[in-house]
Structure 1
Amino acid sequence: MRRLFPVTDQTLTAGESEDREWSLDELAAAYAYPDGDGVWLRANMVSSLDGAAHHDGRSQGISSAADMRIFGTLRGLADAVVVGAQTVRAEGYRPARAREAFAARRAAAGQGPAPVIAVVSSSLDLDFSLPLFTEPLVPTLVLTGAGALPGRVAAAERAGVEVVAAGDGAGVDPGRAVEALAGRGLVRLLTEGGPRLLGQFTAAGVLDELCLTVSPAMTAGEAQRIAWGPATADPVRFALASVLEDAGFLFTRYRRAAAPSA
């Protein structure tokens, strides 16, 4: 059973979406970025019922076909996908591919044929011989700190990878990372984690939207939550925008709530 529980105006309705697969056009309309020229950072994560962000080190075990369809839609709408180095290694990231279903939509929005993959890495401990760096349809970026080891920066540049300084020390400043991408015209941003990177974006106050899949599974174990790191001074409040359901999976979308007036 596929349903939308509308919270804001959407293309899909519960009656229209029951017992059939959502079309890419419907999903693209439901997950469209806000109008305007400002930068918008959304996250896409999956969690088990007991809060695990992965099972056995990967998210695939708690995902589903519908989840992957939404995953592909979110990528198809983004200018850039921002991802942590550990997630690149654990998930075996490859270059984003052009999809015919999104070609006209991306061209009309002034986007390239596929989103840029932007890897966040303080150590630059990456295998620059992997297809992510050697065979991208659009060049992969690596975001690091200005104090990154010169030898690792040189290794990346020899491989033809553009290294972008987004912090004064060895680490990456989340706000500076968003600014650096926006300065390249990449304003529709999507982060796919991992938990440490999402925690940094949350703590820095630059996360605008969370697309969270709640998987109807329990994993126990010691897996991280979807966001991990230093706690925020106060909880960051988000407002529910929409909920989709398929086979017990809930596909929620939350937008950062406006700060209350004094």
Structure 2
Amino acid sequence: MRQLIGADPGTPGGPGTLEWLAEAYAYPDGGRWLRANMVTSLDGAARLDGLSEGLSGEADKRIFGVLRALCDVVLVGAETVRAEGYRPGRARAEFAERRAAAGQLPAPVIAVVTRSLDLDLSAPLFTEPLVPTVVVTTVDAPPDRLARTAERADVITAGTGSVDLPRAVAALTERGWRRQLSEGGPRLLGQLAAEGLLDELCLSVAPLVTAGDSPRIVNGPQIPHVRPMRLVSLIEQKGFLFTRYLRATDPDRSPNDHDLTGDAS
């Protein structure tokens, strides 16, 4: 694993170790920070054969695990939960001391965003979580489904007709979960970007050309105001590129944020 752009954390063991990655992707101190982690092919596909798994590789999965281990809560859309067979967040011994020192739960909370509450409540995500799974839905969600869901998950209601993401993110933050991670899917990420909630994008680029009709990593109506981002880190392994982009208009909030060009655009 090679750091091509950005500061080397300089931890023992060098690039690619868990300690090195944990420092390279450390959350900034202070308030709420929402990062997204996505993977894409060279030609922009967010999925291969319907799943992101087909685009992933060893290093991508390693970084995926580190990003989860660093966050308080994973925000994910119900469609992605169903398609990818989501399981509960797990405690990792390598990060136990770090999480305890930061006042975090042993494992990240999984927060599922759904308007319809079309969820398999018998799945391990709801029957075997180390920390309770959260479901974020609307105030006017179907009452019978809402009651059943509340028996298996911690329910947050935000918005009528569709989930009010600013209110939902604020509710998660109020619970002390300020280190937030979205794993998509593309539709949820599009909504988060449109609402101006996205602080950081960690994008893995797989050395694959797939064609097909897979959606982009951000999918939905065009954002009214284009969100400029700036590259702060680039890591390479076996042809995979692992990028970090921060909001170009934000002040320097991240300890690993280095202005590489001097151009905010």
TM norm. shorter chain > 0.5? yes
Is 1:105 matched up with 2:98?
A: yes
Q: Which range moved further: 195-204 or 144-153?
A: 144-153
**What does 1:176-195 align with in structure 2 at a 5 Å threshold?**
176-195=167-186
Percent identity (aligned)? 59
Matched with 1:227 is: 218
Matched with 2:260 is: none
What TM-score does the superposition give when structure 1 sets the normalisation length?
0.92
How far off its partner does 1:147 sit? 1.1
How far off its partner does 1:174 sit? 1.5
Is 1:213 matched up with 2:212?
A: no
Distance 2:216 2:172 in 1: 26
**What does 1:52-201 align with in structure 2 at a 5 Å threshold?**
52-158=45-151, 160-167=152-159, 169-201=160-192
Deviations 1:107-128 (A, max 9, x none): 0000000000000000000011
Equivalenced residue count is: 250
What TM-score does the superposition give when structure 2 sets the normalisation length?
0.91
Give the AA of the match of 1:177: A
Deviations 1:24-74 (A, max 9, x none): 0100000000111x1000000000000000101111111100000000000
Distance 1:91 1:199 in 2: 19
The answer to whether the 8 Å contact 1:42/1:211 transfers is yes
2:23 to 22, 29, 37: 29
Distance 2:202 2:158 in 1: 25
The answer to whether the 8 Å contact 1:80/1:188 transfers is yes
How far off its partner does 1:135 sit? 0.7
How far off its partner does 1:234 sit? 2.7
Matched with 1:3 is: 2
Listed as ranges, the gaps of 5+ residues in structure 2 are 251-262
Matched with 2:255 is: none
Distance 1:26 1:56 in 2: 33
How far off its partner does 1:10 sit? 3.2
Q: Which runs of 4+ in 1 moved over 3 A?
A: none
Distance 2:232 2:10 in 1: 13
Matched with 2:248 is: 257
Distance 2:79 2:45 in 1: 17
Where 2:187 maps in the other structure, the secondary structure is: helix
Distance 1:58 1:250 in 2: 19
The change in CA–CA distance for 1:10 and 1:173 in structure 2 (over 3 A counts) is farther
